[in-house]
Structure 1
C-alpha cells in the first residue's frame, strides 16, 4: 500500500492544483487490493552470453520500474547502476571464449565444449560465497534463465519460493518441452535446422530426430550430470528432488518470441508468456557528432554494419575484411562500421569506425538504407521493430537459422562468409536498398510487432505478481510434463486401433478363404 500512496503523493506534487478532498476521494474509491508493494525478486543467469543479458535486462528494467526489488546474479558487469536493482557479478564464468564462430572453426565444437563444462561451471558458480549468502535473504520469487543455470534450482528449493523460467529464445524443441508444450516437428522446425514450412518428408524426419535427440540430451544427460555434480559438491541437499523434477515445478516461462509473428502459427500453453521485443524502444536523436556525419551523407543515406557484442570484428580473416573495405569504398552511401579498434589503415573516406553505437537510435533513423548484421535474435527483432531491411552475415549459434528465416520471410538476405566476394556483396546491398517489395514486407512486419494487446512491461509485472499471489501457479502446469510420450501422442491408442483393424482384416480374410475352400469343394463334388 505504501508504494500506491507514494505514487499518489507524486501525482499531487505534479498536479499542484489538486484539492485535498480530491485526494480523499481517490483513496476511498481505489480498493485496498490495488495497492501492491514491490516484491523481492532473485534473478539468476549464471551462465549466459552478453546477448542473453540484453534480453534479461529489459525484463528486469520493467520490473524495477514498478517498484520490485531485484537481485541479479550474472557473469557480466552492469553498464550503470539502476534503482531497485542490485547485481552480483560472477567472475570467470564468461562462456564467450568457448563459443566458437565461423572465423575460428567449427561452431558445433564450441557448443559441445559449453555443454560438457556446464555442470561443473554451474555448481562452481552456485558455491560462490556471495551466492550462498543469498540464503540469508528473504525473496518472494525466483527467476531463472533456462540456459545451463539449472543447478540454481536447488537455491530456490531451499528458499521455498516459486520460480519463473525465462528463455532468451522462443518455445521450440526442448525449451517448449520444459514448459509443458507438446512438440510438433511436422511443421515447427528445430532451431538447429534451416528448413521451413511446408516441410518435405526428409525435413520432417530430420526435424523429429533432432527434436528427440536435443530433448533427450537435456533431460537425460545435461540435467542429470548437473544434478550429480551439485550433490558431489554438497550444494544440493540429499533429500532434494532431482533437478529434472524441480525444473518441471516451474510452471510459468517468459520467452523471447512474438507469438502472433511466429511462422507458421503454432500451439501454446497458458503458462508460456511471450515477451519478445520487450527490449525494443523508439529511436532517440543521434549524438551531435554522429548526427552531423549522417546528415553529411545527403539523400544517399548511410549503411550500418555490426557483428554484435560477442565476436570481435578484428578477428575476421583478412580476406573478408578486404572485401568489405573494397565494397564499402565503392558505395555512394556512407558506412557506419562497429569495430573494436580505433583505426584501420586502408579505411575508405566514406566509412566511419566506432567501438560502441546506440543501435536502436541508428536503426530508427529514416536515413538508414540497410543494416548489415550478424543476425542475433535481439538485432533481428530490433530491425523488424524499426522497419529496417537487413543483410545477414551470421557467425555463430542460432544466427544462421535467424537469417535463413529472414530471407525466407522476404525482408532481408543472407550471405555466407565463405561465399563473400566483391560482386556478391555489392549486388546484394544494391538489391536490398532498391527492392520496394522487400521494404514493404519489413514495414508490414513492424506494424504487426507493434500492434500488441498489452504493454509488455505490464505483462511481465502482471505474471510475476500472479505467480507470487497463487503460490507458484501450479494449476497452470501442463499434464505433458508427467505423461509418457506414447500417451501424449496417443501412440498406444493408434497401435491398438491398428491392431484391431488388422485382426478384423485377418478374420475377414480367413472367412473369405473358408468360403472359397467351401465353394471349391462343392464345385469339385459336383463335377466328380
Structure 2
C-alpha cells in the first residue's frame, strides 16, 4: 500500500510541477537492443504528455497515442555498419577470444567514424540549424561524447543514459569512485573478489583506457563537434556537465558498487508485464508437457552464422531431449531440424520467458537478456562471446542461477550434460526466483523512477545541487597526489634531518670517547 501511495505522490508531483516539456533523445547505436531501451523511455515520456523528438537509426512503428513523438531517422549509419561488417567479413562468433586492450582500440577507432554519421546526417543538420529549443536532452553513452554538445547547442540540461551499470565510460565524467581493488572493468570476465593478477590486469586496463581516451578519443570527439555544430563549445565544457545519469542496472542484476547522488538506477525499466502470445507460440508452449527450452543468441549474434560443427553439436543435443525447444533462427529452414524444435526469425522474448512451461533459457548472456530472465526467474545456460557477456554470465554462475559453456568448449557432450545439470537440479530455478524477488522488491517501479528523474531535471533546471565537488578538482588533487607528494617530501626531509642529526651526535660521542682515551 505504501509503495502505491508513494508512486501516486511522485506522479502527481511531476504532473503539477512539470508541464509538457520538449525532450530530445539521442540513441545513435545501430543495434536493436539499444534502440529498444531508448524508444521505451522516450515513448513513456510522450505518453505523459511531453513533446518528444528521437534521433536514432530506426523509426518507431508504434508511436505513443498521447503527447507528441517525432522520429529523426539516420538510416545511413545502419547501412555503414552493415557494409563495414561485410567488407571485413566479420563474424561476431570469432570474437570470443578478443583482447580487452585490442577491443578498446577497435571501438575507439571505429565508433567515432560511425557516430560522426549522426551529426552530419541531413535530417540531423536540419534540426541543428533550426530555431528549436529543448527543455532537456537525453544522450545514450556509447563512445559518442561529441553528441552531448547538442544539449549546449539547444540550451538544455544534459541527461546521460548508460545502457549498463557504472563503468569506465561514465564514472570519470560524474566523479563516481570505482575502486580497482574490487570493481572489475566490464570487458573483463572477473567478479569480486579478484586475485592479485586480476587486480593487476584491471589496473593496467584502467590506466590504458585513461591514456587512450584523454590522448586520442576526446580530442577526436572535440574536432568532430566543432566541425558539425555551429559555434560548437569545447568538448571539455560538455563532458563533465551531466545533470543525472540513468543507469540501466540494479543490485539484483549487477555487483553492488558506489554511486554518486546523480546516478539513478532504473534497471529493468523496459520489461513489461507479459502480453498475449501469437496463437502458434501459445499452442506450442501450452502443449509442451515436458517443458520448453528457449534458445536465442540475441539481436546482434545470429544463429545462422554458427560454424557447422557447433550447429551440429547443438542439433544433436536438442534431438535427444524430451523437452521441446524454441529457437530464434534467422533463416527459413534449418537442415537436420529435429521434430521437437520450433524455429522463428523473431520471438517475443519477454512474453516467452513469462510462460510457466519455460524451464531454461540458453543465451549469449547479453545484458537485456540477463535482465529479462531475472525478471521472470528463469535459469540460464550462457554461451558468452564478447563485450560484457562473459561478465554477465559469470555473475549468473556466482549467484547460482546459471552455468557457462564457453563457446570454444561447446560440444554435444558438454551441452547435454550442462542442460541436464540445470534441469535436474532445483537450486538453479530457486536461485533465479530469489533474484526475481529482489528485482521486483522496489519502492517505485523503474519506469516511474526514470520519468520522475527526467522531469526532476527539467523542474530544477539541470539539478546542479546533485553534482559532486570532485568534478571541480584537477586529477592530481582528486587522487590526493599533491598530498601524497607533500607527505612523502616532509617524511623524506624528516628522515634526512634525523639521519644527519644522528650522524652528528654519533660523531660527537665518538670524538669525546676518543679524547678520553688519549688523556688516559
Describe the shift of the 1:89–1:204 C-alpha distance in structure 2 as closer, same or farther (beyond 3 A).
Answer: same
> Cα–Cα, structure 1 residues 259 and 221, in superposed 2: closer, same or farther, change >3 Å?
farther
SS in 2 for 1:452: coil
Distance in structure 1 (CA, Å) of the matches to 2:446 and 2:391: 26
> Per-residue displacement from partner, 1:324-368 (whole Å, max 9, x unpaired)?
000000111111101011221211111111111111111122211
Residue 379 of structure 2 is aligned to residue 386 of structure 1: no
Task: Report the Cα distance in structure 1 between the residues aligned to 2:246 and 2:476, rounded to whole angstroms.
Answer: 28
Long gaps (5+) in structure 1 = 1-29
Q: Which runs of structure 2 are paired with 1:160-309 in the superposition (5 Å)?
A: 160-231=155-226, 233=227, 235-238=228-231, 240-259=232-251, 262-263=254-255, 265-298=256-289, 300-309=290-299
Structure 1 residues 453, 424: closer, same or farther in 2, change over 3 A? same
State yes or no: 1:337 paired with 2:321. Answer: no
> In the alignment, which of 462, 465, 475 is matched to residue 485 of structure 1?
475
**1: CA distance, partners of 2:124 / 2:111:** 17
CA distance 1:268–1:35, change in 2 (3 Å)? closer
1:81-137 deviation digits (Å, cap 9, x = unpaired): 333322121112023665755424575677645432433433332222321222333
Q: Which residue of 1 aligns with 2:44?
A: 62
Q: Does 1:124 align with 2:142?
A: no
Q: Normalising to structure 2: TM-score of the pair?
A: 0.88
Which shows bigger deviation, 186-195 or 438-447?
438-447
Q: C-alpha separation between the residues in 1 aligned to 2:166 and 2:475? A: 18
RMSD: 2.4
Residue 491 of structure 2 aligns with which residue?
A: 501
Contact 2:165/2:254 (CA < 8 Å) preserved in 1?
no
Aligned partners of 2:84 and 2:435: how far apart in 1? 35
1:49 aligned partner: 31
Instruction: Give the whole-Å Cα distance in 1 for the aligned partners of 2:91 and 2:379.
Output: 24
For 2:308 and 2:505, locate their aligned partners in 1 and report how far apart those are by CA, in whole Å: 83
Matching of residue 322 in structure 1 with residue 304 in structure 2: no
TM-score by length of 1: 0.87
Separation of aligned partners in 1, 2:113 and 2:338: 48
Structure 2 residue runs without a partner (length 5+): 1-11
| Cα shift readout 1:355-408 (whole Å, capped 9, x = no counterpart) | 111111111222111100011110001111111110111233221222122222
TM-superposed CA distance for 1:48, in Å, is 3.9
Distance 1:33 1:348, change over 3 A: closer
Q: What residue number does 1:467 align with? A: 457
CA distance in 1, matches of 2:279, 2:484: 68
Could you tell which deviates more after superposition, 135-144 or 417-426? 135-144
Separation in structure 2 between the aligned mates of residue 411 and residue 388 of structure 1, nearest angstrom: 8
Contact map agreement 1:387 1:442 (CA 8 A) in 2: yes
